[in-house]
Amino acid sequence: MIRVPVNAFGKTLYFLVDTGFTVSAIDAKYKSYLGENTDSYNAGSPLKTNNVLPIFKCPEISIAEKSLGLDKITCLDLKMGRMISGQPCDGILGMDFLSKNVVSIDFDKKVFSLNVTVPEKVRKTFVAVPLKQFYQHYTAEVLVNHAQTLDLLVDTGDNGSISLNPEGWQKVFSANQTNEVSITVAGVGNQMAQSKIGVVGQMAIQGLTYTNLHATYIQNPADPSHLGLGFFRRHNVTFDFANQMLYLEPGQKFSTPDKEDMSGLHLLRDGDATIVYSVDENSPAFNCGIKANDIIESVNRQKASLLTMNAIRLILQSRDGDKVTLQVRRGDDLLDFEFVLKKII
């Protein structure tokens, strides 16, 4: 996730940068600061569900001493985002704010910046990608496998590289073109669901070429296909939504291959506890006996509570054939397990 510090209620909070979310949001734990709701908002979801969210008058929120300048904000439970990431997650910067600014993200230096105009260096050296408006959002045209042209929604809230709705999936894949594997995906609020992934052999956008990107299946046919954070973090990026332009500069991770978890474990962080939410059947972790609700005490003899969730996940997707040792707590018992990572796709 891309998180930026904001100031609200005299505190430093952390908001996600989500170009796929229409109305900026704040976590439900701050609802008492908002007063009475004034309206409601229908929020769609890739997980085939729609949520009716309350709308409130937006309190004073600023980022780097710049007021968001919003007159309304919605409110939802972001607990799952905190548990998946193991990091503070207090709100979402949506397109009602982002579309009014020139937004630059330097993924190499981990710097987020707001500008009035596109910096001259960006105009001269980055690859310019025209955008098309799609309601309150924007899409970019890509060429897949030298044959299929797709318009993909610019969505920094989608952690994958590409997500395809049923129509897009059918265009890109056929029975003899891809292996498909099941995965667990999470949405806004506390939504979790089963989906699948496939591999896109080649994708091109304005002369930039990418190979073997992982595509996630979107269950909701009404949801557009997405170009997600897994794609954008390969670059340094500037979004100029007002002028319908995206600027891309290949970054240090431009050629980094997409990887999936190779253990079968789906983990959540609750306080200091790293909890097994679920285990994929016939996965390495499943076959050695790890179960849902087990608490991970150590990973490769490192105390789990001292590791970030990102560090743990990097271990679990490191390399096909690597051995991983876990110590887990199940009730009053401490159990030791060892398994070998297995590439799923």
The domain at 265-340 falls in which architecture?
A: Roll (2.30)
pLDDT at 51 over 60: yes
**Amino acid (1-letter code) at residue 232:** F
pLDDT one-digit tens code per residue, 103-134: 999 999 999 999 999 999 999 999 999 999 99
CB within 8 A of 114, min separation 6: which ones?
Answer: 63, 64, 66, 101, 102, 103, 104
Q: Rounded CA gap, 233 and 106, in Å?
A: 9
Fold of 3-98: Cathepsin D, subunit A; domain 1 (2.40.70)
Residue 269 parent element (H or E): strand 265-270
Predicted local distance difference test score (pLDDT) of residue 327: 98
Does 337 or 196 have the greater pLDDT score?
A: 337
Whether residue 49 has pLDDT greater than 70: no
Average per-residue pLDDT in the chain? 92
Q: Where are the domains of the chain?
A: 3-98, 119-250, 265-340
Distance CA(199)–CA(212), nearest Å, equals 6
Does 265-340 match 3-98 at the fold level?
Answer: no
Among residues 98, 188, 187, the alpha carbon closest in space to that of 138 is found at: 98
Residue 224 carries which DSSP code?
P
**Looking at the domain covering 119-250, what would its CATH class be?**
mainly beta
The pLDDT of residue 191: 55
- Using alpha carbons, select from 173, 174, 168, 136 the residue that is nearest to residue 151: 168
pLDDT at 246: 98
pLDDT at 240 exceeding the cut of 70: yes
End-to-end CA distance of the chain: 23
Give 245-301 pLDDT, tens digit per residue.
999 999 999 999 999 999 999 999 999 999 999 999 899 999 999 999 999 999 999
> For residue 55, how many other CB atoms are within 10 A of its CB?
17
User: What DSSP line would sit under 40-59, residue for residue?
Assistant: EEEE--TTS--EEEEEEE--
Segment 59-96, tens digit of pLDDT? 999 998 899 999 999 999 999 999 999 999 999 999 99
Indicate the pairing of strand 11-17 with strand 91-93. Answer: parallel
pLDDT over 90 at 176, yes or no:
no
Mean pLDDT to the nearest integer, 306-331: 96
Percent of the chain with pLDDT over 90: 83
Largest CA distance in the chain: 62
Contacts of 173 (CB under 8 A, 6+ apart): 180, 198, 215
Residue 223, number of CB atoms within 10 A of its CB: 18
* DSSP 8-state secondary structure symbol assigned to residue 117: S
Residue 192 has pLDDT above 60, yes or no: no
Closest CA to 1 of 86, 126, 101: 86
What's the rounded Cα separation, in Å, for the pair 133 and 196? 28
E strand or H helix at 261, and its extent? none
Q: Which helix (H) or strand (E) holds 106?
A: strand 102-106
Q: What is the mean pLDDT of residues 189-213?
A: 85
What pLDDT, in 10s, does the model give residues 133-169?
999 999 999 999 998 999 999 999 999 999 999 999 9
H or E element in which residue 296 lies: strand 295-299
Residue 220: per-residue pLDDT: 87
What is the model's pLDDT at position 194? 74
